[in-house]
Structure 1
Amino acid sequence: MEAGVADAAARPADGGAPYLEFDVFSEWGVRALVTTRAAGSFVSGGDEPMGEVMARWSALQHHLAPAGGGRFATARQVHGAHVIEHVAGWTGWLRGHDADGHLAVERGTALAVSVADCVPAYVAHPSGAVAMLHSGWRGTVAGILGSAVRAFAARGLAAAELRVLLGPAICGACYEVSPDVYGQLTGRAVDRPTPVSLHAVLADQARALGVRDLHATPLCTRCDVATLYSHRAGDAGRQLGVIVARVS
């Protein structure tokens, strides 16, 4: 674990099979979870019958219903740095275009991103404002975390007041990248494929942005492939990172 980054343990929800929940934000009435293999893959364009996939999405929304808002937001992910800002006044499932992050200032909007080695980054403020980010190496280089922190700041919510959780992703020991990618992520030159920790890079970025309250889970998608999907392990499936602030 990086110095200055607190370890975030996950606990099973509802007997635990389909979802793992993190208590990092519970004092603020914010739920943060990741789906597991037991929940099944959330890829809509794979070989599985669409009815089975959609049933998983419906089950997840039902699981989130006690939060009280009835809003569920996703988007087509493109490994970029765009963050969609959501407002209240609607219900149902909203799928946006070309975005890898979501932010909701008002409580009751569940935000989700799909991952399988990339980092699901959860961000919250004591007021109940939340963000959910999909940060692979491209999104990390593009600065998606900075996009979210600046969006909070534009709403008067300072970086020093935010709490960030870096969720289950491929660990530094399992993630080897090309010299070019390593250089883009770290600013350091190497002459051969080299392991890198996206958690560590994102933690450094968060500190530079003024975030001081940092947490990370030790769960690695590649090491814990029995529980989570991993692209590097050859999986076509995807899990979801989800955050929602309960309506008071």
Structure 2
Amino acid sequence: MNPHAIPLGTQDLEHGGETVDSFAALGVRAFTTGRDAGSFGTGSDEPVRDVMARWNALRIALDSARLATATQVHGQTILEHDGAWRGWLRGQDADGHLAMSRGTAMAVTVADCVPVFLAHPTGATAALHSGWRGTVAAITAHAIARFTSVGLTASDILLHCGPAICGRCYEVSPDVYGQLTGRQVQSPTTVDLRALIMDQARALGVRKLSVSPLCTRCNNDRFFSHRAGDAGRQLGVILARL
């Protein structure tokens, strides 16, 4: 296992991570990278040139005319992408990406926060970064609402929560726990972000739900984990092929 490896193809990118196999029937590729693909974050001591080389390798491996990313701020802003541009779009202050048509690869960086993937049979897709703030702000619910606002049926949406810190490992303050659950506690308490996200989706009529069994903290040899002291970041990537 080499955390400084520069991936050269999609197989390398997905090795050691997790692929969302249930999306394949829709012509959608979705996956979360792992340590084996190296870090895609620029907040570590690793040379920026190595990180950028991975991003460029990602673009080549995906073979997509468009790649959308953004500076993430733990909010609810979702950027919507059409097919009118080409290249690598690096947006500002957003934690989600959405495309109503095929052909745009979208990526979020994570390390304990939840990579949330949505896909619809029409080719509409979304990739979201949902930490505790994004979960409180209901970024997943906002993405679902964007789908249904253009006539897509919620029950046709496939939703997957990728590798993230699990409910046994994620301890939060009483204040954060209260914001997430609406319940009061007197001491730090563990909470399951993915379970909360799934509840939000169910409340809006999404029925085709899946969740990764992998915890980034429990499987720290396989994934970067902020709680484990890592500065590295893995990617959550989705692409509806043309």
State how far apart, in whole Å, the 1-side matches of 2:66 and 2:181 are: 37
Q: Provide the rounded CA distance (Å) in 2 between the counterparts of 1:190 and 1:107.
A: 45
Q: Within 5 A, what are the aligned runs for 1:1-248?
A: 13-14=11-12, 17=15, 19-65=17-63, 69-247=64-242
> Retained in 2: the 8 A contact 1:13–1:19?
no
Report if the CA contact (8 A) 1:132-1:243 is conserved. yes
Residue 15 of structure 1: how far off its partner (Å)? 9.3
Partners of 2:78 and 2:148 lie apart in 1 by: 13
Change (3 A) 1:148 1:230: same
1:125-172 CA-partner distances (Å, limit 9, x unpaired): 011110000000000001101110111112211212111000000000
CA distance, structure 1, for counterparts of residue 138 and residue 17 of structure 2: 28
How many residue pairs get aligned? The number is 233
Equivalents in 2 of 1:223, 1:190: separation in Å?
Answer: 25
Give the distance between the partners of 1:97 and 1:34, measured in 2 at CA: 22
Contact 2:14 2:33 in 1 (8 A): no
Give yes or no for contact 1:172–1:197 (8 Å, CA) kept in 2. yes
Is this contact kept in 2: 1:117–1:170, CA < 8 A?
yes
Residue 13 of structure 1 and its aligned partner are, at CA, apart by: 3.2
Q: Which runs of 5+ in 1 are unaligned?
A: 1-11
Which amino acid is the alignment partner of residue 167 of structure 2? G
Amino acid at match of 2:20: F
Moved over 4 A (4+): none
Contact 1:103-1:131 at 8 Å conserved across structures: yes
**1:122–1:132 contact (8 Å) kept in structure 2:** yes
Segment drifting more, 51-60 vs 134-143: 51-60
CA contact (8 A) 2:14 2:31 kept: no
Classify the secondary structure of the residue corresponding to 2:215.
coil
Task: Calculate percent identity across the aligned residue pairs.
Answer: 61
Scaled by the length of structure 1, the TM-score of the pair is 0.90
In structure 1, the partner of 2:6 is none
Would you say the 8 A contact 2:43–2:231 is kept in 1? Answer: no
By how many angstroms is 1:245 displaced? 0.3
Q: Residues 43 and 232 of structure 2 are in contact (CA less than 8 Å); yes or no, is this contact kept in structure 1?
A: no
Tell me how far apart the structure 2 counterparts of residues 103 and 62 of structure 1 sit (CA, whole Å).
21
What secondary structure does 1:132 align onto? strand
C-alpha contact 1:85 1:104 (8 A) present in aligned 2: yes
How high is the TM-score relative to the length of structure 2?
0.93
Q: Give the secondary-structure state (helix, strand or coil) at the position aligned to 1:31.
A: strand
Distance change >3 Å, CA 196–CA 45, structure 1 → 2? closer
What amino acid sits opposite 1:125 in the alignment?
H
1-structure distance, mates of 2:141, 2:165: 21
Give yes or no for contact 2:100–2:125 (8 Å, CA) kept in 1.
yes
Verify the 8 A CA contact 2:107 2:237 in the aligned structure 1. yes
